A and B are shown apart, each in its own frame.
Chain A
Amino acid sequence: MTAEPKSLRVGETLRLRIVAHVDENVLQLDNVTLPDLSGFDSLGDERRCATSGHGSDCVEVMTLSPTEGGDRTIAPTTLDAIDARNGKPSHFATNSVTIHVAGAARPNGVTRALFDDLLKPIAILVIVGAAAYALLWGFVRRKPLPAPPAAPARPVTPATSIDPLTQLIAALARERTHARVLAVRDELRRRVGAREEETLDDLFARRAADDDPAVAGALRAVERAAFVDDSQLDGAIDDALRTLSKWHES
């Protein structure tokens, strides 16, 4: 049993949803005892049972409106039925639900007039005063910020003229194995920003990588080399190396 919302004001409405699952196909549930709903006005009650391959899900949705404030606990809804697991009559119960009901939903005529005439101008004055004080305080206290410490000089690393992908491609050309293909594929996917859970089509759909035919061609050729049978691996690697070099040239 659930309520939505669980916190509201007097006069507002909430929906109390009671759900029961039974392992048989039924059109309605008998022997359901609804909880005591004194303190709420009932504005509507809708019941339905949906059957599926694994039984029926019966849902009752009640539209309620609290008539008085305070925390109110709606007791569990109960159902007397035969338990299919042991064939014995059993007493089933849902959880209980606690609703927090605040005072009136919105100020009525007299309260609202009092708010508009007296409290509203005072509230505005308080807010404006607080803002002016904060501004003044900030201005008086303002000091120049200390200069940030100078960043330490970066250690100079020797520049490499060959990037990892180029090295992996060269290794693949030397050693034509599935493992080398996979290493190239991983680096290529990383380079184009493929996510771990993405397939090639997902990647193309997300990044429109097909826009650059050289990239798309390289990705497809390497994908083929990664998944072909060993008997076709040589040809697939030739194709992959060719498209990769075309991509590098472009």
Chain B
Amino acid sequence: MTVSAPRKPQVLLDALAATIVGQRPSLEALLASLIAGGHVLLEGPPGLAKTLACRALASAVGGSFKRIQFTPDLLPSDIVGTRVFDQRAGEFTTVLGPIFANIVLADEVNRAPAKVQSALLEGMQERQVTIGPQTFPLPDPFVVTATMNPLDSEGTYALPLAQMDRFLVKILVDYPSSDEEGRILDRFGGETPALPADVVSIDDILRWRHEARTVHVEPRLKRYVVDLVGATRVKHDYVDRGASPRATLAIAALARARALVAGRDFALPDDVRAVAPAVLRHRLAFNYRTLTDKVDPETIVAGIIAAVPTP
């Protein structure tokens, strides 16, 4: 009988990095979110492997994966499922929708109208779906990775702030460096390489989640997290509304997950600082002056974070 050592999160990160060229911060945030049990919003121009990263993650984890392409004519039942009449049995039966998967890719989530987004976001929050008289629990783990393209705003339905808050992080995917682009050409120029398959199991993910919850966060570090989120609520020229306590919880959970990925059982100020922008950027309500003064919201978030003294 052989006993294999428990697999570490770093194994999954390496497998993802072997598929996706560059984008290390995005992959780390994706993995940390998976461990922290949150949903991920990926934003970036088309062609930057957002979808590929989600597919690679799902394939590497070995759980069930479904992709939903959001379009303006999508209906809530296309996501959660519906009840159909079975003529042979003479009764209604329930057909479950694509939301019933461990990893759900909601591609271009802002292309569907609000009621469809709500159907997805309700499932994200409640982790269960009600179809007709029956309520169905969603599988565990259940992670939604949604993508958004910031360039084509025509025909899109912007997610309200309250719904954006359901996403644990918003990851910005940027263009690769020229070196990375050269490697992309080498790797994807010919045959499409196979995705990493079953690198870790669902049980590994659930175990990491448990381990992440036991990562130690010093009281002074907790104070730092509270101060960071509190700093977003201080009167600011460009911010109308700051982040909620949900952001405080999210930063702490992600800092723990990041520490676990780094092989530590304690969190550091660097963990908090690294995850804070992804947690805060979609939770702040920027006012019209950001437009008139042409200020990049990322600069505002970075400025708020940088102004808070570290413990």
A interface residues (Cβ-Cβ under 8 A, vs B): 2, 17, 19, 21, 25, 50-54, 57, 59, 196-202, 223-224, 226-229, 232
Contacts and interface: CB of A to CB of B under 8 A. Distances in A.
Contacts of B218: 226-227
B112 to A, nearest CB: 15
Given A51-B153, A51-B158, A200-B269, A228 B216 contact: yes
Contact of A227 (B163, B266, B287): B266
B247 to A, nearest CB: 15
Contacts of A196: 309-310
A53 B266 contact: no
Contact of B270 (A2, A201, A226, A228): A201
A197 B276 CA distance: 14
Contact of A52 (B158, B267, B309): B158
Nearest to A17: B292
7 contacts: A2-B292, A17-B292, A53-B160, A53-B164, A54-B285, A226-B218, A228-B216
A122 B240 CA distance: 58
B131 interface: no
B221 interface: yes
Nearest to B309: A196
B270 A200 contact: yes
Given A2-B292, A19-B292, A59-B292, A224 B266 contact: yes
Interface of B: 153, 158-161, 163-164, 216, 218, 221, 240, 265-270, 273-274, 285, 287-288, 291-292, 306-310
Given A50-B291, A54-B160, A227-B216, 12 more contacts: A17-B292, A19-B292, A21-B288, A25-B158, A50-B153, A51-B153, A53-B285, A197-B308, A197-B310, A226-B218, A227-B267, A229-B266
A200 B273 CA distance: 10
B103 to A, nearest CB: 25
B291 A59 contact: yes
A197 B309 contact: yes
B221 A227 contact: yes
Given A51-B153, A51-B158, A227 B291 contact: no
B291 A53 contact: no
B268 A223 contact: yes
A53 B158 contact: yes
A84 to B, nearest CB: 15
Closest 10 CB pairs of A and B: A229-B216, A21-B288, A53-B161, A199-B269, A199-B270, A201-B270, A196-B309, A228-B266, A53-B160, A199-B273
A19 B288 contact: yes
A2 B160 CA distance: 29
Contacts of B270: 199-201
A197 B228 CA distance: 12
